[in-house]
């Protein structure tokens, strides 16, 4: 029983990190039909900004997160205006892949040049570092924080997309862009706002998840497959889908690591194969 609870805590925290980073990608793929391979690159930029704010400028953790999110969105604006705007919805998959993978390599090169090739840590404030006793075992305090962040992100997104005017318009634009435009919805603005939201979420996840997925120049490529897998397993565009996929995959991966670490990521991909076999459109995705 203790073992199961132990695995549970680690699985949920890992799953939440996957969720926070992947949800932005899921929204973009579901709503704008852009397979954004540069999503991990934006998460990485967020991590670097936070690391710089904390280590070089000595700012508090919360401020660093804010700088990371706002800064990454600011950095992404030229990309959005000059590049992404051309590939929303209409362009073919190959163009999207080539463009976004190009951006990824571009970001890797710049980051490597500016910050150097070594791992960049994101020092935690005393309140979040060190072990925390949760009764049956000690867990890193930070993991509890990650779980909380993930839960808040999921709730906030659900509220934003399901309960607000913005969400209504967005869903309308997604379902039938031409009709929405004819009805006076400015789809271009909506898409830009959603892009900023996705990038901001990536940056937030990158910073908060840096203990589990460390920030280094090849981060953008190293974890890209994982993020894509979460989206495809969950079903693009679905918050509940991304959340359940992240938790399931986190559980498969953590259980595997705990019981048979020498198998590496075998259990992670085994879970992917089984789920995709049973749910070809992802757990909660819709056929397009």
Partner 1 sequence: MGKPVKLLSALAALGLLSTAASADVIKVGVIGTMSGPYALFGKNFKMGIDAWVAENGAKVGEHQVEFIYRDEESPNPAKSKALAQELLVKDKVQYLAGLYFTPDAMAVAPLLEEAKTPLVVMNAATSAIVEKSPYIVRTSFTMWQNTVPAAKVAKANGSKKVAIAVSDYGPGIDAETAFRKTFEAEGGSVAEAIRMPLNTTDFSPIMQRIKDSGADTIFTFLPAGPPTLGFVKAYIDNGLKAAGVKLMSTGDVVTEPDLPNIGDSGIGILSTYHYAVSHASPENKAFLDQLVKGGGKLDEVTMTSVAAYDGARLIYKMIEATNGQRDPEKALAAVKGLKWVSPRGPVSIDPATRHIRQNVYLREVAKQDGKLINKEIQTFDAQPDWAMSAN
| Residue 178 binding partner 1, by CB under 8 A | no
| Residue 80 binding partner 1, by CB under 8 A | no
Choosing from 57, 77, 138, 193, the residue that interacts with partner 1 (CB under 8 A) is: 138
Q: Label residue 245 exposed, middle or buried (CB < 10 Å: 0-12, 13-18, 19+).
A: buried
Choosing from 36, 76, 141, 194, the residue that interacts with partner 1 (CB under 8 A) is: 141
> Which residue, 124 or 160, is less far from partner 1 as judged by CB?
124
| Residue 257 binding partner 1, by CB under 8 A | yes
> Which residue, 54 or 173, is less far from partner 1 as judged by CB?
54
Q: Which stretch binds partner 1 (CB under 8 A): 66-74, 144-152, 174-182, 257-265?
A: 257-265
Choosing from 56, 94, 133, 135, the residue that interacts with partner 1 (CB under 8 A) is: 133
Instruction: Report the interface residues with partner 1, using CB under 8 A.
Output: 2-3, 6-7, 10, 13-14, 112, 116-119, 121, 123, 129-131, 133, 137-143, 211-214, 216-218, 222, 253-254, 257-258, 261-262, 264-265
């Amino acid at each position: 029983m203790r073992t199961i609870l132990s695995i549970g805590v680690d699985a949920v925290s890992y799953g939440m990190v996957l969720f926070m980073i992947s949800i932005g990608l899921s929204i973009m793929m579901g709503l704008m039909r852009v397979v954004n391979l540069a999503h991990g690159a934006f998460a990485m930029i967020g991590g670097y900004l936070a690391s710089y704010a904390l280590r070089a400028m000595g700012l508090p953790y919360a401020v660093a997160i804010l700088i990371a999110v706002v800064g990454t969105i600011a950095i992404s604006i030229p990309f959005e205006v000059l590049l992404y705007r051309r590939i929303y919805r209409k362009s073919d998959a190959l163009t999207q892949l080539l463009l976004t993978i190009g951006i990824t390599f571009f970001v890797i090169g710049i980051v490597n040049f500016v910050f150097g090739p070594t791992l960049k840590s994101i020092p935690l404030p005393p309140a979040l570092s060190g072990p925390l006793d949760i009764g049956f075992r000690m867990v890193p305090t930070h993991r509890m924080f990650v779980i909380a962040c993930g839960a808040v992100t999921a709730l906030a997104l659900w509220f934003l997309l399901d309960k607000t005017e913005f969400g209504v318009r967005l869903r309308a634009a997604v379902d039938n862009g031409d009709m929405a435009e004819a009805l006076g919805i400015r789809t271009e603005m909506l898409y830009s706002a959603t892009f900023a939201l996705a990038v901001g979420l990536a940056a937030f996840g990158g910073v908060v998840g840096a203990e589990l997925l460390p920030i280094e120049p090849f981060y953008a490529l190293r974890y890209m497959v994982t993020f894509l897998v979460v989206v495809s397993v969950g079903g693009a565009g679905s918050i509940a889908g991304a959340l359940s996929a992240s938790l399931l995959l986190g559980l498969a991966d953590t259980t595997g690591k705990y019981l048979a670490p020498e198998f590496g990521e075998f259990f992670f991909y085994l879970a992917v194969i089984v789920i995709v076999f049973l749910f070809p459109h992802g757990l909660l995705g819709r056929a397009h």
